[in-house]
Structure 1
Amino acid sequence: MSDRNPTSKEYGNASYDEEMFRTMSHAAARHTTLDECWDLVKKAFSSEMEAYIFYNKYARDKGFSVRRKKVRRAKRSGALLFRHFLCSREGQRDAKWLDKDVCGRRPRALTLWECQAKLEIKLDQARGVWYVQKNLDEHNHRLDTQDEVPFLWSHRKMKDFQKTEIMAMEGVGIRKHVIMDVLQYRYGGYGEVGIIRKDAYNFSSRYKRSRIADGDAMAVLGLMQSRQKDDPDFYYDYQMDGDEHLKTMFWCDSQSRMDYQSFGDVVIFDSTYRMNRYKMPFVPFVGMNHHRSTTVFGCGQWRSQGASQAGADSR
């Protein structure tokens, strides 16, 4: 009759107890966590930004994302004296957005779990350095793996050379999803790019708006002229008001004109689309082809009904 612990196992000449092994592993993990926490508390930073970069790198290694929240400033000078960094899963979603009767669209997955992990830093005004006032490193959610971390918000940063690459590829007509495939192949994986597809779309949209902001109508007219050079049957017409502001515009390409000749028995237009900035309704003229698919005959923008003549002239 053996008196050996039933949970112990033997491998070669060595035996170990599973329960003892787990206890030792947990103790070692706690000891490592305490060492990391102590090393973080002893840190001092020359600026608030340096502290954020350090904590964000720490979060990347651990598997979570960081966001800024509470600040405290000097009353007279307005200088920053206190900063509060949080885990991105801190807080909770408003209860009304969990009610299907109030929220008409499909509910999204919960991303806030009231996580209490945080880092508080304070400025030592005498020495001019920032020090850690409080650190709490206990998460109530699963930490992301290293394969998932590059897609977290605080770890997605578009570098200047990536912006240049995106602008260059888009300038020659490459679509955004293809641009992301090129970047993924160039950097050796989707996680190595540092951004997601949505970031590329947002950057492209901001870049286009910044280019048009200083040209407005002239930039649009220049685009129309370039389209007409590439497509001789491309048609556009416009009107300017007394202040040299674009008042009305209509355009259609050669394919749209041919579609109108074939399927223009019924024309539908909808003026409910509105640009927030210029307050000019965008009006597409559409119909239905022989496959019962929507086809576009032309598009227009105007501020008065008198611009409808531009659409009639294009016929």
Structure 2
Amino acid sequence: MAYASDESMFEYLNVVSKMFDSEAEGYEFYNKYALEKGFSVRKSYVEWDGSNKYIILRKIVCSRQGFREEKHMKRKMEDRKRRPRSLTRVGCNAKLVITRQEETGRWFVKDFIDEHSHPLAPRDLSCLLRSHRRISDEQKADIADMEKCGIRKYRIMDILCFQYSGFDKVGCIKRDIYNFCHANKQETISAGDANTVIMHMMARRERDVDFFFKYLVDEHGHLKGLFWADSQSRLDYEAFGDVIVFDSTYRTNKYNLPFVPFVGLNHHRSTVIFGCGIISHETSQAYEWMLRTFSDCMAQKHPISVITDGDLAMQRAIRVVWPDSNHRLCIWHIQQNIVRHLHDDDVKEEFRSFIYDTSFIEEHEIKWIQFLQRNKVTSEESWLHQMYQMRKLWCAPYLEGRCFLGLSSNQRSESLNSVLHTHLEGKMSLFEMLEHYERCLASRRINEALQDVEALQSVPFTEENASPLEKHAATVFTPSVFKMVLWSIDAVSKCQIREILDGSEDSTYVVSKQERMDKKFGVRIEEQGGLLH
């Protein structure tokens, strides 16, 4: 017992004889001392000099010093909005008081009490007490990077525990990570959400000279439209921009603004992103601005064909900005509207036949008139009549021979939206949504690179007795496109020529499928410069 008293006295003398170069150094000393002993500290009373420029005295106390204010203790339960927190202050008197010498500017210990009125935490738990938890600058950078990559905060804590070989060596807890991420987000968008996005775009352009972005604001400075595309997206459009698919049905931000990705197909028939836009209102003027901006970005190269949903404002904008581009409506959206607007199964099936009916236009028009008369469609406001008015945008005979790369719906855009929706929250700011979009874009490009490697290092298998056409196709097409070639070769092998109609400039082959000899198809062939078209 006497030895313990001697040890305590030696420890006391060691503390009170300390000198510090600054108040912060004194605090760090007492905090490290508290870590070893098993308690947490906080800064308390402070005194300033006569000019109120310099602190001359600082009291640092045990975090369990004092008591909760009496007014909070006496409040009735029915007056409280939530259950009161557990009591942490128990009137502990432990403290360290340091004061500054005016002559030297150094700090010395004026008072030190090391008696606690509560149990102390063991060493393996004291690291979890408040004043001993701190996120280092290195950890802050790692946490910010992991959050940008879409890693959830509770997973970030698991990763840090693994990296540092235990929770007691991390230096923080899950709550600290949540608080840091929230504070970091607030700091990032403190200049305003839209301004933060614009500044991010400017920074991107400094790193990527071909990065394109353009924005539109109203007279009050509010963001009305935004479009951006990086250098790779612009190169992708130059190579694969014959067909564009886009829609504006995707809204996942706290402002509920339409988010419009422009997508297409690459040489692997995988979704490729050409650019992305945000507009404030779904008007034809807003869409016209976006399409003109897209054209400016892509050196005025207009797409051969466009696939969209049935938005009328978008249709008008396409007619104005891209008048020579083929336009078709998304079949998937039409199928959804069939279920919504038609309730008779026979009518549904007959209407669906117009989507895929490949008869001649004259015959198709007769079928339409008979259908409308049979179902007594007279009101121009009815959905059936509106779809009849737009039939050239979705019925097969009017789209025959036009380039759509085998696409008939905007599910490419929908599938991208599905990917974007992963880990995306409706309360996200524009900047957070932009970061998430860029993560998805990077993921798409990694997948394309893997497909490129596979196509470069392998050739699709062909049978020994395969035709020369098939064997040649295997060497020049990617595996995905080669599968379509095989399908076409197989489809041709199941057709028979019924008749050949020779004209002055071309020939028409009338063919039928073996399983449907009653149905005829016309294949027109024209020779130009020794090539068949």
Q: Shorter-chain TM-score: which interval?
A: 0.5 to 0.7
CA distance in 1, matches of 2:197, 2:144: 19
Q: How do residues 179-218 of structure 1 correspond to structure 2 at under 5 angstroms? A: 179-214=156-191, 216-218=193-195
**Structure 2 residues without counterparts, runs of 5 or longer:** 201-214, 226-254, 261-308, 310-331, 341-425, 430-533
2:42 to 41, 62, 67: 67
Spell out the pairing of 1:33-182 with structure 2 (5 A cutoff): 33-76=8-51, 78-98=53-73, 99=75, 100-182=77-159
Q: 1:96–1:103: 8 Å Cα contact kept in structure 2?
A: no
Checking the alignment, whether the CA contact within 8 Å between 1:250 and 1:300 is kept in structure 2 is: no
- How many angstroms does 1:97 deviate by? 2.9
Q: Given the superposition, is the C-alpha separation of residues 132 and 222 from structure 1 closer, same or farther in structure 2, using an over 3 Å criterion?
A: closer
What is the distance in 1 between the residues matched to 2:160 and 2:55?
39
**CA 1:70–1:217 in 2, change beyond 3 Å: closer, same or farther?**
same
Q: Whole-Å Cα distance in 2 between the matches of residues 189 and 195 of structure 1?
A: 11
Deviations 1:183-234 (A, max 9, x none): 00110111111011111111111222222233521546899xxxxxxxxxxx
Quote the offset at 1:239 in angstroms: 9.1
Write the distance in 1 (CA, Å) between the matches of 2:219 and 2:259. 29
The alignment partner of 2:175 has SS state of: helix
Q: Is residue 67–residue 85 contact of structure 1 (8 Å, CA) maintained in 2?
A: yes
After TM superposition, the score normalised by the length of structure 2 is 0.39
Q: Give the Å deviation of 1:33.
A: 1.5
Cα gap change, 1:253/1:177 in structure 2, threshold over 3 Å: closer, same or farther?
Answer: farther
Q: Taking structure 1 as reference, are residues 214 and 107 closer, same or farther at Cα in structure 2, changes over 3 Å only?
A: closer
- AA aligned to 1:28 is Y
Change (3 A) 1:130 1:250: same
Cα RMSD for the two superposed structures = 3.3
Aligned amino acid, residue 168 of structure 1: D
What CA deviation, in whole Å up to 9, does each residue of 1:149-182 have, x standing for no partner? 1111111111010011111111211111101000
Between Structure 1 and Structure 2, how many residues are aligned?
227
Percent identity between matched residues is 41
Question: How far does residue 300 in structure 1 lie from its aligned partner after superposition?
Answer: 11
Amino acid in the other structure paired with 1:62: K
Decide whether aligned partners of structure 1 residues 91 and 46 sit closer, same or farther in structure 2, where only a CA change above 3 A counts. same
Distance 2:144 2:107 in 1: 39
Q: Secondary structure in 1 aligned to 2:45?
A: strand
Q: How has the CA–CA distance of structure 1 residues 299 and 46 changed in structure 2, closer, same or farther, with 3 Å as cutoff?
A: closer
Give the TM-score normalised by the residue count of structure 1.
0.64
- Tell me the distance in 1 between the aligned counterparts of 2:168 and 2:93: 28
Which entry has the higher C-alpha Rg, 1 or 2?
Answer: 2
8 A contact 1:252–1:299 mirrored in 2: no
Q: Distance in 1 between matches of 2:185 and 2:55?
A: 35
1:250 aligns with 2:256: yes
Q: Within 2, Cα distance between the matches of 1:239 and 1:300? A: 21
Specify the alignment match of 1:28 in structure 2: 3
* CA-CA distance at 1:139 after TM superposition: 0.4
**Cα separation, 2, equivalents of 1:161 and 1:91:** 35
CA distance in 2, matches of 1:119, 1:246: 54
Question: Which is richer in helix?
Answer: 2
